[in-house]
């Protein structure tokens, strides 16, 4: 299968600090990759590089033709919820429709078709009743849903989610992952999470980012495996999965 995104020997960082070094990763259309790793290990930097928010210091990120659409890449992005100013005077419907904006469309109105697809997503996500409410009146889970609609409304080929489970209730978290599972039938997903236990049921592979990147096919992750990848992450699981906490180790 042809890759949507091919990252080759990527180094990136801020100023003199190289947060990422020699990273290689291929994202295929059916992928559901869990991006894990310690804080400060470069998870966010990797996302920013793929999203085009930072320029790599060296290496390349190649996008396939099917990823390109009118000057932009077909990426849907769900930022961390605390990056959003929830006091901003904007309604749910307008947040969702804003996902359709790009350089090509400076002016004009949304077409009937675009409104229709936005409303359809809102319906699907179960936030129809609050679609005309300002986002300031919403719960964390509802804001996440609205932002997920915004990420999906432009029909992306790759969906990138940055810690979608922070500040969100358990019920929404489960719903979200079930939703992602369905979405994954049509698009590739890159999910950044610190919560290995929960995502392990859903992801198909792991990318452990800790300055370098180690790719692991399959969703079974054992502490030993993480150790061999030099991935100092804690496994804290919920529900029926046994509770494991990885102790500190040096490498």
User: Least separation, in Å, of the C-beta of 51 and another protein?
Assistant: 5
> Looking at 24, 62, 82, 101, which residue binds another protein (CB under 8 A)?
101
- Report the nearest approach of another protein to the CB of residue 69 (Å): 10
Residue 154 or 234: which CB sits closer to another protein? Answer: 154
Q: How far apart are CA 195 and CA 216, in angstroms?
A: 17
Which of 24, 58, 102, 222 binds another protein (CB under 8 A)? It is 102
Binding range to another protein, per CB under 8 A, among 32-40, 74-82, 205-213, 219-227: 74-82
Q: Are 153 and 134 in contact (CB under 8 A)?
A: no
Q: How far apart are CA 198 and CA 237, in angstroms?
A: 6
User: Which of 69, 74, 73, 34 is CA-nearest to residue 209?
Assistant: 34
Dist. CA 69–CA 130, nearest whole Å: 31
For 214, residues 6+ apart whose C-beta sits below 8 A from its C-beta are 207, 208, 229, 230, 231
How many positions of this chain bind another protein (CB under 8 A)?
Answer: 32
Q: What is the contact mask toward another protein in residues 21 to 60, using x (rule: CB under 8 A)?
A: ------------------------------xxx-------
Residue that the structure tokens 């409104």 belong to: 115
Q: Tokens representing 6? A: 């091919």
Site string for another protein, 105-134 (x = CB under 8 A): xxx-xx-----------------------x
User: Closer CB to another protein, residue 140 or residue 223?
Assistant: 140
Does residue 79 touch another protein according to CB under 8 A? Answer: yes
Rounded Cα distance, 251 and 167, in Å: 32
Judged by beta carbon, residue 87 or residue 250, the one nearer another protein is 87
Measured from the CB atom, is 18 or 84 closer to another protein? 84
Contact between 63 and another protein by CB under 8 A: the answer reads no
The span from the CA of 7 to the CA of 86, in Å, is 34
Alpha helical stretches, state H, 105-169 = 112-124, 140-152
Cα(25)–Cα(10) distance, rounded to whole angstroms?
A: 9
Site string for another protein, 149-168 (x = CB under 8 A): -x---x--------------
Binding site for another protein (CB under 8 A): 51-53, 71-72, 75, 77, 79, 83-85, 88-91, 94-95, 98-99, 101-103, 105-107, 109-110, 134, 136-137, 150, 154
């Amino acid at each position: 299968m042809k890759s949507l995104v091919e990252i080759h020997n990527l180094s990136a960082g801020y100023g003199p600090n190289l947060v990422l070094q020699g990273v290689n990763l291929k994202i295929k259309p059916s992928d559901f990759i869990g991006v894990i790793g310690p804080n400060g290990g470069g998870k966010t930097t990797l996302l920013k590089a793929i999203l085009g928010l930072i320029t790599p210091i060296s290496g390349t990120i190649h996008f396939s033709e099917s990823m390109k659409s009118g000057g932009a890449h077909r990426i849907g992005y769900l930022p961390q919820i605390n990056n959003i100013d929830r006091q901003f005077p904007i309604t749910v419907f307008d947040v969702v429709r804003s996902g359709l904006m790009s350089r090509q469309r400076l002016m004009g109105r949304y077409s009937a078709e675009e409104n229709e697809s936005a409303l359809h997503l809102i319906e699907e996500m179960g936030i129809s009743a609050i679609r005309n409410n300002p986002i300031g009146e919403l719960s964390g889970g509802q804001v996440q849903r609205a932002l997920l609609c915004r990420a999906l409304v432009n029909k992306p080929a790759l969906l990138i989610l940055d810690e979608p489970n922070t500040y969100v209730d358990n019920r929404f978290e489960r719903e979200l992952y079930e939703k992602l599972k369905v979405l994954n039938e049509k698009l590739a997903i890159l999910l950044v999470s610190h919560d290995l236990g929960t995502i392990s049921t859903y992801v198909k592979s792991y990318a452990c980012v800790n300055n370098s990147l180690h790719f692991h096919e399959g969703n079974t992750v054992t502490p030993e495996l993480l150790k061999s990848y030099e991935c100092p992450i804690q496994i804290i699981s919920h529900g029926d999965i046994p509770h494991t906490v990885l102790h500190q180790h040096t490498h």
